[in-house]
């Protein structure tokens, strides 16, 4: 294990990049809410990106332990059927704004966790204040 590389910070960085990309895609969707025949886009769920990046099986430390299950069903998000306006546009502003709020919450949570861990490291190193 490399003590200079902490997996939690790498995960937080990847989550922030994902949230930034999603905010950009959602902003484009909202900006094109009145564009004829525009179809909204979204990025794949973060859980799917994590599961695609590595396959980690739970360790069985005792023969009586059950084998772990594959969490592939966790990353799929339910998609609402797209209702088209008479001009062919499928952007639902209420849905897009809900996704923007969800992504903002994700960014805030990730930033808060990052800051808390940095504060814990500062305490461990004796740098309080």
Residue 67 belongs to some domain of the structure: no
Residue 118 belongs to some domain of the structure: yes
Number of Cβ within 10 Å of residue 49's Cβ equals: 15
Q: Which two tokens stand for residue 125?
A: 């190193």
Residue 22 belongs to some domain of the structure: yes
> Which residues form the domain of 121?
1-31+91-129
d(CA 79, CA 50): 20
Tens-digit pLDDT profile for the chain (129 aa)? 565 677 888 888 999 999 999 999 999 999 999 999 999 999 999 888 777 765 556 666 777 777 665 444 443 344 455 667 888 889 999 999 999 999 999 999 999 999 998 898 889 888 875
Residue 31: which residues within 8 A CB-CB, separation 6 or more? none
> How many domains is the chain partitioned into structurally?
1
Place of tokens 């959602």: 26
């Amino acid at each position: 294990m490399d003590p200079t590389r902490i997996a939690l910070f790498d995960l937080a960085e990847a989550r922030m990049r994902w949230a930034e990309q999603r905010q950009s895609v959602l902003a484009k969707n909202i900006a094109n809410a009145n564009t004829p025949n525009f179809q909204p886009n979204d990025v794949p769920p973060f859980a799917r990106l994590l599961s695609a990046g590595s396959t980690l099986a739970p360790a069985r430390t005792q023969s009586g332990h059950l084998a772990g299950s594959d969490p592939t069903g966790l990353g799929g998000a339910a998609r609402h059927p797209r209702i088209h306006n008479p001009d062919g546009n499928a952007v639902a502003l209420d849905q897009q704004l809900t996704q923007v709020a969800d992504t903002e919450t994700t960014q805030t949570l990730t930033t808060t966790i990052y800051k808390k861990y940095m504060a814990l490291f500062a305490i461990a190193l004796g740098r309080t204040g």
